[in-house]
Amino acid sequence: MTTDQTPTYVESGKEFDRDMNYIPDRITADGRDGWPVEPGRYRLVAAKACPWANRAIIVRGLLGLEDVISLGMPGPTHDARSWTFDLDEGGKDPVLGIERLQEAYFARYPDYPRGITVPAMVDVPTGAVVTNDFPWITHDLYFEWRDHHKEGAPNLWPDDVREEMDDVMKRIFTEVNNGVYRCGFAGSQEAYDSAYDRLWTAMDWLEERLTDRRFLMGDAITEADVRLFTTLARFDAVYHGHFKCNRNKLTEMPALWGYARDVFQTPGFGETIDFDQIKAHYYVVHTDVNPSGIVPKGPDLSVWHTAHGREKL
């Protein structure tokens, strides 16, 4: 890990408030934002360590867009400046030729004032970032790149449950995806207690919802499952201890744990999970939460491959 600066995440006395002001441009079939769908033109930069980026990796694979949109993968640790391509030969992305994702942001916005985040879609010809608006990235991979989906690609946004799915995804984002961060980056006991209670209210809701249905919206995987899965995959390895989300482990919730293994064992999901990178990212980068930088050896991750028995649902 480079240490030009130490990134800080916990603001003393305050609750964690995620900055959701992302670059709003979208890559669309009609090119209305100036970025038309064009095979080979864009590179998805997405670190395996990051749950938000993990979503984009999964959706790209499920839809069969690997030969249409290339994938750049930064390493799991970074400093306050940027994600870096330290896993690539010479420490440079082999397509973009850059050492830091920050360079793609500065190629478009020389004074870009916000965090350098993944996932990011980068315009290969110019080397400039197009967007880092992660909810729209996966949405548009499905809706705007349809002409390039593989045959038999899953319907991640089914019309018949769309309205309910929007509500489910909103609650999952605010209470679970972001809820674990509110716990981990709480700057006061009061902020932590509130975040903890909100998280576990939502986890209990999910446990109940998944008791009698195989996936969040029924009998098929949707975008909602992609969004929940990347948090659940990190729960026992990181969030339970590192973020103090420790009422119980995921493995102690029968429906949620069975569901998580079911999704993990579905082609396109488990192979995107790198637990070593995940643990390295959280335990090394978050020095204000884990100042020692020690990465735990556990938990036993072979349990993800055990039978889940949810086919009967």
Taking only the tens of pLDDT, the chain with its 313 residues reads 334 456 778 988 888 988 889 999 999 999 999 999 999 999 999 999 999 999 999 999 999 999 999 999 999 999 888 999 999 999 999 999 999 999 999 999 999 999 999 999 999 999 999 999 999 999 999 999 999 999 999 999 999 999 999 999 999 999 999 999 999 999 999 999 999 999 999 999 999 999 999 999 999 999 999 999 999 999 999 999 999 999 999 999 999 999 999 999 999 999 999 999 999 999 999 999 999 999 999 999 999 999 999 999 9
Please tell me whether residues 124 and 197 are part of one structural domain: no
Residues with Cβ within 8 Å of 259's Cβ and at least 6 positions away in sequence, in order, are 210, 214, 215, 232, 308, 310
Of the candidates 203, 189, 311, 294, the one whose C-alpha atom is nearest the C-alpha of residue 241 is 294
> Under a CB-based contact definition with an 8 Å cutoff, are residues 190 and 241 in contact?
no
Please tell me whether residues 133 and 32 are part of one structural domain: yes
Please tell me whether residues 229 and 211 are part of one structural domain: yes
SS3 category, 128 = strand
Please tell me whether residues 134 and 173 are part of one structural domain: no
Whole-number Cα distances in Å, 132 to 45, 105, 170, 258: 9, 10, 19, 32
SS3 category, 264 = helix
pLDDT at residue number 294: 98
- Tally of structural domains, the chain: 2
Q: Give me the catalytic one of 42, 105, 142, 181.
A: 181
Whole-number Cα distances in Å, 243 to 174, 194, 247: 16, 14, 12
Please tell me whether residues 140 and 1 are part of one structural domain: yes
Whole-number Cα distances in Å, 30 to 24, 37, 263: 16, 8, 33
Whether 283 sits among the annotated catalytic residues: the reply is no
Integer-rounded Cα radius of gyration of the chain: 19
pLDDT at residue number 4: 47
Please tell me whether residues 253 and 107 are part of one structural domain: no
Please tell me whether residues 132 and 223 are part of one structural domain: no
Please tell me whether residues 175 and 45 are part of one structural domain: no
The domain boundary residue, chosen from 251, 271, 291: 271
Whether 181 sits among the annotated catalytic residues: the reply is yes
Backbone angle region of 190, left / alpha / beta, with phi > 0 → left and psi within -120 to 50 → alpha: alpha
Tell me whether strands 70-72 and 42-45 are parallel, antiparallel or unpaired.
parallel
Please tell me whether residues 3 and 145 are part of one structural domain: yes
Please tell me whether residues 50 and 197 are part of one structural domain: no
Range of the domain at 11: 1-154
Please tell me whether residues 12 and 130 are part of one structural domain: yes
- Give the other-Cβ count within 10 Å of 81's Cβ: 15
Q: Give me the catalytic one of 50, 142, 183, 192.
A: 50
pLDDT at residue number 57: 98
pLDDT at residue number 14: 87
> Under a CB-based contact definition with an 8 Å cutoff, are residues 169 and 195 in contact?
no
Q: Which residues pair with 28 in a beta bridge?
A: 36
Of the candidates 132, 124, 52, 67, the one whose C-alpha atom is nearest the C-alpha of residue 95 is 124
Please tell me whether residues 91 and 148 are part of one structural domain: yes
> Under a CB-based contact definition with an 8 Å cutoff, are residues 53 and 119 in contact?
yes
Residue at 309: amino acid letter: G
pTM of the complete model: 0.96
* 114 is a domain residue: yes
The domain boundary residue, chosen from 134, 154, 174: 154
Q: Which residues pair with 135 in a beta bridge?
A: none
* 92 is a domain residue: yes
pLDDT at residue number 3: 40
* 282 is a domain residue: no
Q: What angle do CA 1, 121, 273 make, to 5 degrees?
A: 55
